[in-house]
Copies of this chain bind each other. A is one copy, B any other.
Amino acid sequence: MALTAAPADERRAIGFGLLGYGFMGKAHSNALHKIPYIFWPSAARPELVAIAGRTEAGVREAATRYGYQSYTTDWHDLLADERVDVFDNVGADTAHVEPTLAAIAAGKHVVCEKPLAATAADALRLYQAAETAGVKHLVCFNYRFFPAVRLAWELVHNGELGTLRQARFRYSQEWRTDVEAALPSPTGALDIIGSHAIDLARFLCGEITSVSAAISSIAPERTYRGEPAETDDTVAIVAELEDGLVATIDASLVAQGRRNHLAWELNGSNGALTWNLEEPNVLRVHRRDAGRTRGFAEVIACEEDHPLAAPWWPTGHVLGWEHGHINMLAHFCDAVANDTAIDPYGATFLDGLRVAQVSEAVEESAATGSRVAVAEIPVSPA
């Protein structure tokens, strides 16, 4: 035979308009490229419609590099375009609220990088707007979408650990270790990485009801682009959760030696789990009933019977950091295509709101020295 033209991909296209083209823009664009051929067959496929950013030269180059059909320096253009089904906001933290609210108003489904908003009040507005509009909403707590983390969630929710009795979460990085250097970001350890630790605590263990916290800075006088900034470099939290569970949660940007160490341990009445992001495929599982060969088993969560692993590679051909984002956005596309729920696997704007509420309680506790109750969960407006 001769070469034959390949049939067109007839799956429904879900048009993405992306705001932002930095580190997270790269991670999301990568995901949109990979989803169509990794998740096959499927109901829909993402389409890279347009990308927006503040600097024209930069966003134009990004459009070519990542294969977007078009670009703009004005994010409103994304909302005006009918081909855009999803507004994916990976812009600066300060650009999360207004554009996302506008997208909801324009009827777009919305994806927003964490933290959802700088204040719980703004996060609540976003949550209520999205619920009222009936659009799908997702906050990018990507670590929920690692196979080993999802496997942990299943073990906990299947009751295989029994009653949880202790938990610890940490996220440690080291890049803000220079006292002299100006800050590379306007936010600090709590927002940048602590938010991930708080979300995983809630995802795996349930709601946080109160916190006692301390915050420290190695150089409180540092500024970000000449402006005052949040200079918290470490935050340490004792959290009380539903059912009396006590957890420690901490985050640091000055934990020398730790490059990207998001780690947790859960101890239940019948078993225990540990995980860390520097070995993201490994879930360590202890079962109380394993007799005299009991101990933490090093489970490489890349087998066919592991959640989120089957679409990828054969047994033991491990995944990396980027795969959390890919699995997350694939889940979002499925939810849009099939009108299914984002939660409990994906973090919705309610989860983004809850993290904001916990964060505010942490800051108040650190400032006052008192244990602070986390605000009530709002009733859904829908």
Question: Does A216 make an interface contact (CB < 8 A)?
Answer: yes
> Is A50 interfacial (CB 8 A cutoff)?
yes
Would B246 and A175 count as touching, CB distance under 8 A? Answer: no
Question: Is B257 in contact with A272, judged by CB distance below 8 angstroms?
Answer: yes
Q: A271 within 8 Å of B by Cβ?
A: yes
Nearest CB in chain B: distance from A249 CB, A = 9
Q: Is A256 an interface position by the 8 A CB rule?
A: yes
Q: How far is the CA of A151 from the CA of B360 in the complex (A)?
A: 40
Q: For A214, list chain B residues within 8 Å (CB).
A: 212, 238, 240, 246, 371
A70 and B297 contact, Cβ closer than 8 Å, known pairs A212-B213, A213-B238, A315-B175? no
Say whether chain A's binding surface is mostly helix, strand, loop, or mixed.
mixed
Interface residues on A, range: 35 or more
User: What sequence of 0s and 1s flags, for each residue 134-157 of chain A, a beta carbon within 8 Å of any chain B beta carbon?
Assistant: 000000000000000001000100
Given A63-B6, A70-B5, A216-B245, A313:B322 Cβ within 8 A: yes
Which A residues contact B (CB, under 8 angstroms)? Answer: 1-9, 23, 26-27, 29-30, 33-34, 36-38, 40, 50, 60, 63-74, 77-78, 81, 151, 155, 161-163, 165-166, 168, 170, 172-175, 177, 179, 210, 212-216, 218, 233-234, 236-238, 240, 244-248, 250, 252, 254-261, 267-272, 277-288, 290, 292-300, 302-303, 305-306, 313-323, 365, 369-371
